Every structure is written in structure tokens, then in C-alpha cells.
Chain A
Amino acid sequence: MKIPRPLPLKSLHKRVWLSFSSLVKLLYFKPAYFFLAAGVSILFYEFIFWFLNLGLMQYLLTSPFLTVGDKIQMLIGSYSGIFTLPLSPLALTLFAVSVFQGVAVAALVYSIRKERAMQRGFLKEFGGTGIAGALSVLGLGCAACGTSLVTPILTFFFATSSVAVAEEVGLYSAVLALIVSLITVYLTGLKLAPRLKVQSS
């Protein structure tokens, strides 16, 4: 089924509002999708946060020498760096991207369940979540210190002097991730509008 375009392209602000209202309606009136969004968001954030130390994370989560409480505390602790001063633009961006990813996936799951079949249109949004994830991973870590994926990529293709620009590349990729995830959330919200019977004001 082709999703009808609810409003002409010119009225972008109305479409953004329509998308936003649809998403709020979905998450507020269908708590299961709210919890799905929260779960995906947490998984996404933890995956990106631990990306450079996945082996260690696996060891800790499966270790018989830590209680379940210790493991949960460890995962919650990874959020502690976001809002401590000085605020890190990279950490805040990563947090925002993970929230948008959670909302987008919950909206997609709702749409797919309602349509009962995967459509080409949905694949675009799934692609969007993948691109945002990859860009977030690139922005992770301290590029100047070498604990970032950007640094080895740049030095492999260019020269060691390119490390000087790695910090900027990392930040730009995080901003790009934010833009891609915002567009993904916007599109998924827009697709929900007819299904949830949300009208443009």
C-alpha cells in the first residue's frame, strides 16, 4: 500500500508538526512502543559507548564474579558522563542520536506490524538508522589520543598528519548522525500519521 503524502512539500513546518504529533501519540497511548523505544535507545547507546571495548563488555556481562546489580550499575554508569561538566558536545549528540534511533525503530515496528509486510519505503528508514549508527561510531572516542575509529581510518588512507583533523571529522560525523537520525524520525512519524489518524493543524 502506498502511503499518501498528507500535505504538499511547501508546508514543511506542518509536516514536521504532523510527524511529531504522530510519534507523541504512538509513544503516549501505546506504552509497549514507548518501552520498545526506550529499550532500543539504551541498547544503541550502550553499543556505541562500549564499541571500542566490546570484548571487555562481553566479559563483564557474562562474568560469574559480578552480581546482576553490579552489571546494571555498570550499564547505568555509562550515562554518567553525558551531563557532567564540562558538557561534551559529542556525548550529548550521541545521547540525542540514541533517543532518535529508539523512537524511529519503535515507529517502524508499529508501521510494519500494521502493514503486515515489509515495504520498500520502510527500508529507507532502516537504512537511515544504520547510517546514523555508523556515523555515531565514527565520532566516538578521543581522535587526538588515537582512541577513535576516525584516526586509524584517516591514517590508513592519508598520513599520520591527518590526525590533526581527526577531531573535527569525528565531531562532523556525530553531527551528520544527528541530522540523519532526525530525518529518519521525521519520515517515520509522517508515515504513522494516516494510520494513527493524526491531522495537520
Chain B
Amino acid sequence: MVAVAWLFFTYGGSKQQPLSESEQQVLAVQDKRLTKGDESAPVKIVEYADILCPYCAKANEEIIPQIQSNYIDKNQAHYEVRLVAMISPDSQRAGEGAYCAAEQNKFWDYLDTAYKDTWDNYYSQNKTPQDVDLFTERNIFSFASRVGLDTLLWQQCMDSGKYEKTITANQEKMSEIKAYGTPHFIINGNNYNGAPPFSSFKAVIDAELNKSKASE
């Protein structure tokens, strides 16, 4: 067991290399409306998420608020969300709805309400994404109205289908960086699959902050 552990830490795993050009491109801000924090912060966090993904909702309810108060609010980290549609047919509609909400500067209201509703009413009760009916063709309008959007403008945006390509492009980028599923976090080039506890995030962010301080 000791030998296996030694081999793993000496030769195994994927050693972290300096960021490649493509990784730098992934970290570059794609859409300012979907970000939080200071753009010049030393740690850049990008999350690929699906609004109907249970673990994305869990991360948003339990982990992101801690990252916000400990790092984003202190200008130590910058956070950007990129939406994809992988979980269910309603994911695409929910994602486009969020981008349309961003046109009215209500992206975070929309996303936070969506995650809170799905977590409180479905996933925390061990229900599945197939059980969620908030974003069906019939119900999404009332959801948008509950978030406080100008529903006429929002509906026009949805009908135009202008964000369909954005979601597709995000998914293509995920394939490029070999991300398996959602949520997928990139923290200064370190890939993290799934929704780990805050302590794991803290370790990655602290290591990056210490590295940044050491290079100054």
C-alpha cells in the first residue's frame, strides 16, 4: 500500500503544468453579466453548470456562498458561470431563459431562484431532474415572472433563440477540456469534477493565492 502510494505521488496522476494557451482562453471572461467579483483577482473560477443538475444546485446552495464571503467579496477570486444543457430536455430552455434574464441584469436572481427551488423542493428530497417541472414549456413563463423579469421582453428574447448557440459553444468547450459532466470547475487551470465540500475548494484557492503571493 505504501509502495502504491509512493508510485502514485511520484509518477501517477496528472502533474499540474503552467497554463497552456487554450487553458488561458478558457479562463478569459466570456460574459461579464454572468460573473461575480473583481476581474483582476488572482484566482479565476469558471463553472460549467446545468440549471437542472442536482449537484450544481447543491454547490450553489452550500459551497458558492462560502466562496463568495471568503474570497469573492475580498477581491481574491473572480467567479464566472457558463451554462450547458446536458441533463434533460428542459435544461436548454432553462439555460436560454437565464441568458435572457441577464439582458435585464437579473441573471443571478434567475439562477439563485432556480437552484433554490430545485434544491428545496426536489433534490433535497432525493427527487430526480425528471421530476422538476419548473422549466417546462408551460411553466417557465410563470417562473420568469416570479423572478421579476419584464416577461414581454424576456419572451421576445426566448423566441429569438439567440442564446442557443452560446449553450452549444459552452458544451463544445467542455468537450475540449475533457470535462465529464456538471458541475465542472476550473480554478486557475485546475480542473475539478463534481461538487466537493468547501474544504476542498479552500485548499485549491489557498494554494493558488499563496502561489500568487510567492511570485510577486
| A interface list, Cβ under 8 A from B | 40, 43, 52-63, 65-66, 70-71, 73-74, 76-78, 80-81, 86, 141-142, 144-148, 151-152, 164, 167
Contact = CB atoms under 8 A, between A and B. Distances in A.
B184 to A, nearest CB: 8
B203 A66 contact: yes
A interface: dominant SS: helix
A74 B202 contact: yes
Closest 8 A/B residue pairs (Cβ): A146-B181, A77-B199, A55-B14, A58-B13, A65-B210, A74-B203, A147-B181, A147-B194
Contacts of B183: 145, 147
A112 to B, nearest CB: 14
Given A77-B200, A78-B199, A142 B14 contact: no
B55 A142 contact: yes
Interface of B: 1, 5, 8-9, 12-16, 50, 53-56, 86-87, 124-126, 128-130, 180-184, 190-200, 202-204, 206-208, 210-211, 214
B181 A151 contact: yes
A171 to B, nearest CB: 10
Contacts of A58: 8-9, 12-15
Contacts of B195: 142
B207 A63 contact: yes
Contacts, number: 123
B16 A78 contact: no
Contacts of B208: 65
Given A52-B193, A78-B199, A164 B182 contact: no
A194 B14 CA distance: 47
B197 A43 contact: no
Given A43-B1, A167-B128, A142 B181 contact: yes
A40 B50 contact: no
B89 to A, nearest CB: 12
Nearest to A142: B55
B74 to A, nearest CB: 18
B196 A146 contact: no
A145 B198 contact: no
B87 A144 contact: yes
A145 B214 contact: no
Contacts of B53: 142, 144-145
Given A59-B16, A70-B206, A145 B197 contact: no
B191 A146 contact: no
Contacts of B196: 53, 78
